[in-house]
A and B are shown apart, each in its own frame.
Chain A
Amino acid sequence: MLGRIPGKKGNSYMAFYRSHILVSVDPECLDKGAHKVIDALNDELVQTGLLGEVQVLETSRIGDPKLFGPDMVVYPEGVHYVRLNVNDIPFLVEEHFLKGRIVDKYREKAAPVSEEELGPPKSKEVRVVLRNCGKIDPENIEDYIAEDGYQALAKVLTEMTPEDVIKTVKSSGLRGRGGAGFLVGMKWELTHNVVGDIKYIGCNADEGDPGAFMNRRVLESDPHSVVEGMAIAAYAIGAQKGFIYCRAEYPIAVRRLQIAIDQAKQMGLLGENILGSEYSFDLEVRKGAGAFVCGEETALMSSIEGLRGEPRPRPPFPSVKGLWGKPTSINNVESYANIPQIILNGSEWFASMGTVKSKGTKTFTIAGDAVNTGIIEVPLGITLREIVYDVGGGIKDGKGFKAIQTGGPMGGFIPAEYLDTPVDYESLASLGSIMGSGGMVVMADTTCMVDMARFFMEFTQEESCGKCVPCRVGTRRILEILEAICKGEGKPEDLDTLEMLSKQVITNSLCGLGQGAPNPVISSLKNFRHEYEAHIHEKKCPAKVCRALIDYTIAADACTGCMVCARNCPVNAISGIRRQPHVIDQDVCIRCGICMQVCNFNAVEVN
């Protein structure tokens, strides 16, 4: 790399440098002393005789100055050193440039993420399923036992018959937490009533909904609650073997589940003659292999059997004919995690929370543009407004609220006028959405609803197993139309076609994926039709997201001519000389938005 040796006025010559240091002189970094760092660097390079080999340059913002400033990047390695002060420089220069060793302690900690903090309960939270998360060591069964762990199982095996257990769970009103919301107690009763010696119990830990990771939290932080819940369920239906189908994208969960199972077996809480009773139950973990559709219970069973994860027609229902043709009951992680406490505290306790038809608490994940993203657990019946503003802290960066999407990729978009709707199974369905797994994506006014519908359709189309024509072909056709609209190639009749296709896919698909995939399209057409029309008729994207329909221009009165944008433009679309307003060539511009990001003077506008 060529460069100019600093300090040699009028006699500059080109030289080869083996290293370049780019120090950020973003105003916030300067406040934190970036110039002093540059001076210290130059001094040190002079002292060590490296001035001819290492070049120090000033650049605009590298990383977030609040987190990282003063910071710099060293090439050719591409190492980002952060939070430097002048005292760090001698050591850094010696280690990195003389000895050739990257200094880890000054390096930006882009280390692998291990666990995010759950934090104390936020306002309006009630932690039932999450009560132990973050408080106990998930790899130590004794911690769980100390929190009344396995007491429920002991009570069930010594004091209750299977029918008693079913009655308790039924009267608690617990509905399946995987999304469909079928009464858990009734599901167990159906399996219990089928005559047969061999029965299976399954746990659906294939949480694949984008934006949902509550199950992951429970599996990683409190796996025994699921193990105990399953043992109780197996006793109730008469199963001897259980499977936890956990997605492979959750390796920590898989590992901790296995540890939990092994520890429970060692203590006689699983396996032959549990707690000395006549009841035996074995549990096995099965990993997924990266297929969203395997979260559908019949596809899940196919996957456990070693086949393609394709759903099967129901009836016959798994309760009657499930794994290997035997009666099987499959429930969600969170459904099981509630069971031990329902047994210990009683069904009235559980039924005292929530609404008339939707009892208990539910975990939700807030993702997207909210201030507080992460997992929460609240009683059902809480309003959407409370979730977004009280628990979620409102919209970040001071943007306005546009919509909230509930239930994952098969859910609908709910606009602001419905924010006071209570969150329960029936109310969400009446708004054209679903409870689903509990993922909630908050969207600010910088979101394009057509783009969002396209996003979710891209996901469901890719994950469609391909078995039935309406889903396989229908989702692809819907996606093609949405992509054309986002590119500015939409036609007026597209909206009717979208509605017609959506209806066909919903009524004619075999499983929940196809039956739900068009929901984002239908709901965005209903609540945000004007955005579609703007894309089609005016070829404009109101939220300024769809690349083909926006352009970036530089406001001449705000531009200082600093040339930072021109230097950073990947296609050299910006022309201009120092101190003169710059201009973006619209034919070359690829609408990447980098110029807007790097401009320190907010001179770049999007239309």
Chain B
Amino acid sequence: MTVAIIDGIQVYSAVQKALERHGTSKDELIPLLVDVNSTLGYLPTEALGQISVATKIPISQIMSVASFYSMLSTKPRGKHVIKFCENAPCHIMGGRQVWEALLDSIGVTEGETSNDGKWTLATTSCIGACGVGPVMMVDDDLYGNLTPEQIPGILSQYA
């Protein structure tokens, strides 16, 4: 995932690749958006416009889908996205202290991106690993049995 300002060529190429992979029929909208989101890190408005032209879905409807699903973002995100489970089972197993360690380590509040563009700290709903709670995902990696002391060490593994 990139954080630098994305230029038009990158957007165009990401959208074209997604269209090749999934096709242009209307029920492929969500796979298309997820594809472009994971290539570019988020969904720039230009991308939505290009998808609208290709699929003939009105851009207002594309926007209504892009703003509905939590894995899609219409705002730029950091290089690494942390998703911390904020639901009850992880909370009972000591989630609050781990969350505070995260806030301390990164220095942002929930949903924000750090000034250097490295981290976006988000909360997520249950990931389905409640047996090893508290859990968080950093990009596609899942960490379980978290304690506050582990946080600096885990974060230092990401460039």
Residue A304 lies at the interface, judged by CB distance under 8 Å to chain B: yes
Complex-state Cα separation, A297 to B156, whole angstroms: 42
Q: Pick the contact of A441 from B69, B86, B92, B135 — CB < 8 Å?
A: B92
CB nearest neighbor in B for A79: B153
Q: A110-B143, A110-B153, A570-B104 are in contact. List 11 more A-B contacts (CB 8 A).
A: A63-B150, A64-B147, A79-B156, A110-B157, A116-B131, A292-B125, A306-B28, A365-B131, A409-B88, A439-B89, A455-B88
The 6 closest A-B pairs by CB, nearest first: A78-B152, A210-B87, A289-B69, A290-B70, A290-B71, A306-B29
B residues near A368, Cβ cutoff 8 Å: 88-89, 92-93
Question: A335-356: which residues lie under 8 A (CB-CB) from chain B?
Answer: none
CB nearest neighbor in B for A71: B149
Complex-state Cα separation, A368 to B126, whole angstroms: 13
List the one stretch of B1-9, B12-20, B30-38, B113-121 in contact with chain A.
Answer: B30-38
Complex-state Cα separation, A443 to B131, whole angstroms: 14
CB distance from B68 to the nearest CB of A (A): 5
Q: Are B87 and A443 in contact (CB under 8 A)?
A: no
Q: Are B131 and A213 in contact (CB under 8 A)?
A: yes
B residues near A248, Cβ cutoff 8 Å: 34, 71
Q: Pick the contact of A63 from B135, B143, B149, B155 — CB < 8 Å?
A: B149
Q: Are A211 and B88 in contact (CB under 8 A)?
A: yes
Given A110-B153, A287-B31, is A306 in contact with B130 using a C-beta cutoff of 8 Å? no
CB distance from B5 to the nearest CB of A (A): 25
CB distance from A437 to the nearest CB of B (A): 11
Residue A235 lies at the interface, judged by CB distance under 8 Å to chain B: no
Question: B94-152: which residues lie under 8 A (CB-CB) from chain A?
Answer: 97, 100, 104, 124-133, 135, 140-145, 147, 149-150, 152
A residues near B131, Cβ cutoff 8 Å: 116, 213, 365, 367, 373-375
Complex-state Cα separation, A465 to B69, whole angstroms: 10
Q: Are A373 and B130 in contact (CB under 8 A)?
A: yes
**Interfacial residues, chain B to chain A (CB-CB below 8 A):** 26-31, 33-34, 57, 61, 64-65, 68-72, 86-93, 97, 100, 104, 124-133, 135, 140-145, 147, 149-150, 152-157
B residues near A64, Cβ cutoff 8 Å: 147
Residue A274 lies at the interface, judged by CB distance under 8 Å to chain B: no
Question: A445-485: which residues lie under 8 A (CB-CB) from chain B?
Answer: 447, 452, 455-456, 458-459, 462-463, 465
Q: List 7 A-B contacts (CB under 8 A).
A: A73-B152, A209-B126, A212-B128, A249-B128, A290-B70, A367-B92, A452-B88
CB distance from B157 to the nearest CB of A (A): 8
Residue A159 lies at the interface, judged by CB distance under 8 Å to chain B: no
A residues near B72, Cβ cutoff 8 Å: 289-290
CB nearest neighbor in A for B140: A251
B residues near A456, Cβ cutoff 8 Å: 88
Q: Are B130 and A367 in contact (CB under 8 A)?
A: yes
Q: Are A107 and B153 in contact (CB under 8 A)?
A: yes
Residue A369 lies at the interface, judged by CB distance under 8 Å to chain B: yes
CB nearest neighbor in B for A102: B156
Residue A98 lies at the interface, judged by CB distance under 8 Å to chain B: no
CB distance from A587 to the nearest CB of B (A): 20
Complex-state Cα separation, A365 to B131, whole angstroms: 8
Complex-state Cα separation, A373 to B93, whole angstroms: 11
- Number of interface residues, chain A, beta carbon within 8 A: 67
Residue A291 lies at the interface, judged by CB distance under 8 Å to chain B: yes
CB distance from A285 to the nearest CB of B (A): 10
Residue A597 lies at the interface, judged by CB distance under 8 Å to chain B: yes
CB distance from B133 to the nearest CB of A (A): 7
Q: Are A306 and B69 in contact (CB under 8 A)?
A: no
Residue of A211, A250, A463, A594 with most partner-chain B CB within 10 A: A211
A residues near B156, Cβ cutoff 8 Å: 77-79
CB nearest neighbor in A for B142: A113
CB distance from A357 to the nearest CB of B (A): 29
CB nearest neighbor in A for B85: A210
Q: Pick the contact of B147 from A63, A73, A308, A439 — CB < 8 Å?
A: A63
A residues near B91, Cβ cutoff 8 Å: 455
Complex-state Cα separation, A113 to B86, whole angstroms: 18
Complex-state Cα separation, A97 to B158, whole angstroms: 20
CB distance from B65 to the nearest CB of A (A): 6
Give a binary string over A216-256; 1 marks a CB under 8 Å from any B CB, 0 the rest. 10000000000000000000000000000001111100000
Complex-state Cα separation, A327 to B152, whole angstroms: 53
CB distance from A515 to the nearest CB of B (A): 19
Give a binary string over A359-396; 1 marks a CB under 8 Å from any B CB, 0 the rest. 00000010111000111000000000000000000000
